Amino acid sequence: MKHSRLFALVASLFITLGFTVTFQAGARGRTAAPTFSKDVAPILFNHCTSCHRPGEIAPMSFQNYKEIRPWAKAIREQVVNRTMPPWHADPHIGQWSNDKRLAQKDIETIVAWVDGGAKEGDPKDVPALPKFASGWQIGEPDVVFQMPEEFTVPAQGTVPYIYFQVPSNFKEDRYVTAMEARAGDLSVVHHIVIYVREPNPTRPKRQNDLGDGLLGALSPGMTPFIAQPGTAKLIKAGSTIVFQMHYTPSGKVTKDRSILGLKFAKAPVDKIITTTAAWDARFEIPANAENHEVRAHWVADEDIDIISLMPHMHLRGKDYTYKATYPDGRSEVLLSVPRYDFGWQVYYYPKQPIRIPKGTRIETIAHYDNSTKNPVNPAPDKPVRFGEQTWEEMMNGFFDYVPTSKASPTTSGGIGPR
């Protein structure tokens, strides 16, 4: 009897302890849902607020809980699908210094926050907003060029590309280390492309010559051009600055007068940056074609280092690939953009310059969807050819490069200003 009582007591104690241990373990396993103030604000401030703030390209501001809370479910969907932050390069090919992707743990934090009720938490935990440049992102420019006149954008309809020419009045060659184009009214400016037209071009025509030199651009997702130390883009004395303006009517008559800021080298420049492209303008995409392919190529006539790549297509653009075939027969993909998005014209900056030996063939491969399966296709029942307008198409595989070896200095220490 005593043994039975003792057994029952021990069994009861184990059961009690078991429940206690289980409860305590469960309590330890449960964690409080993330809050905006402590967990989510640092993620959004670091990755989203640069665009999601007044005066920038995003349609809504993400600077505090009151602004962000109504968009919680939409934010969850966008980050889970990796639609935002916008980044379209294949993550398995290349490493990019401007990679905007969220870490998986950050995505999981946002999901847990929304699923837990998107609570604010203690406002005292909110970190300070990042400090953004209130004016020029490149700092105060050395010179500013402005469109020679204000342009009136109609409320509706299609506006063909508009070109404005501005004389540089440079009396000597200038070496540009930073460039930033700024829209007069961002609500109607889809993009600005800045070209440089030399006064008396003497250079021989090269393969796939783009004509006027491309200096830089402003478009969705693009950051200002800032050269690495010792490098610069060259604008020759007497050149003309050309603004190519792409306007998209916003529903009301709007006036725009965009500007361009340049900073010049303050130290010797060893290497001049050249912008070129593997591109084609002779293609035709058949009506209703779902996966039409266009190829172009460019061959290096010297040893070079590629410092950026930027594919460009229009609304039917589907995917884009840069491929290098080296003189020894080896080949590799330099950049793959499997989900091209015309809304985000992104430069891809490799963490390390891509070494390209003389004789290497750079091939670009683009695919287009001109079918009804493409929701933004303006006319799937019609063939499409090269053209500047959005409803036409382009196939431009832009890239910037510098020569691998240093330029021969005109004086000791390099070329350019002293």
The answer on 257 and 179 residing in a single domain is yes
* pLDDT for residue 406: 63
Residue where one domain finishes, among candidates 219, 245, 267: 267
DSSP-derived 3-state class of residue 260: strand
**Residue 28 within any structural domain of the chain:** no
Residue where one domain finishes, among candidates 64, 90, 125: 125
The answer on 276 and 259 residing in a single domain is no
- Please state whether 37 falls in left (phi above 0), alpha (psi between -120 and 50) or beta: alpha
What does pTM read for this prediction? Answer: 0.80
- Please state whether 397 falls in left (phi above 0), alpha (psi between -120 and 50) or beta: beta
DSSP-derived 3-state class of residue 16: helix
* CA–CA distance, 198 with 138 (Å, rounded to integer): 25
**Residue 1 within any structural domain of the chain:** no
Going by their DSSP bridges, the two strands 354-356 and 254-256 should be labelled as unpaired
The answer on 138 and 263 residing in a single domain is yes
Give the orientation angle of helix 72-80 with respect to helix 104-115, to 10 degrees: 150
* pLDDT for residue 15: 38
* DSSP-assigned states of every residue in 192-238: EEEEEE-SS--SPP-TT--SSEEEEEE-TTPPPEEPPTTEEEEE-TT
The answer on 279 and 212 residing in a single domain is no
CA distances from residue 197 to 92, 140, 205, 348, 397 in whole angstroms, order as listed:
39, 25, 14, 26, 21
Q: What angle do CA 185, 190, 191 make, to 5 degrees?
A: 100
* pLDDT for residue 143: 97
* pLDDT for residue 350: 96
* Cβ-Cβ contacts under 8 Å for 305 (sequence gap 6 or more): 353, 354, 355, 356, 401, 402, 403, 404
**Residue 84 within any structural domain of the chain:** yes
58-216-272-305 Cα dihedral, nearest 10 degrees:
60
The answer on 218 and 323 residing in a single domain is no
Domain residues for the domain of 80 are 36-125
Per-residue H/E/C for 187-205: CCEEEEEEEEECCCCCCCC
Q: What is the CATH number of the domain that holds 236?
A: 2.60.120.230
The answer on 234 and 248 residing in a single domain is yes
**Residue 140 within any structural domain of the chain:** yes
* pLDDT for residue 407: 54
* pLDDT for residue 6: 40
The answer on 121 and 138 residing in a single domain is no
Report the number of distinct structural domains present in the chain.
Answer: 3
* pLDDT for residue 31: 67
Residue type, 218: L
* CA–CA distance, 64 with 40 (Å, rounded to integer): 11
Residue type, 81: N
Residue where one domain finishes, among candidates 125, 159, 176: 125
Note whether 197 and 212 are within 8 A (CB): yes
**Residue 333 within any structural domain of the chain:** yes
CA distances from residue 53 to 50, 118, 137, 188, 356 in whole angstroms, order as listed:
7, 21, 15, 17, 40
* pLDDT for residue 17: 38
Note whether 291 and 353 are within 8 A (CB): no
**Residue 416 within any structural domain of the chain:** no
* pLDDT for residue 329: 96
The answer on 165 and 252 residing in a single domain is yes
* Tokens of residue 172, six digits: 């000597």
Q: Which residues of the chain have pLDDT under 50?
A: 1-30, 204, 207, 209, 408-413, 418
**Residue 415 within any structural domain of the chain:** no
* pLDDT for residue 207: 47
Where would I find the beta strands (DSSP E) of 286-383? 292-299, 304-312, 317-325, 331-337, 354-356, 361-368
**Residue 196 within any structural domain of the chain:** yes
- Please state whether 124 falls in left (phi above 0), alpha (psi between -120 and 50) or beta: alpha
The answer on 144 and 105 residing in a single domain is no
* Beta-carbon-side half-sphere exposure of residue 36 (alpha carbons within 13 Å): 20
The answer on 153 and 115 residing in a single domain is no
The answer on 190 and 277 residing in a single domain is no
CA distances from residue 307 to 297, 303, 403 in whole angstroms, order as listed:
18, 13, 11
The answer on 209 and 185 residing in a single domain is yes
* CA–CA distance, 151 with 415 (Å, rounded to integer): 39
Residue 350: strand pairing partners: 96
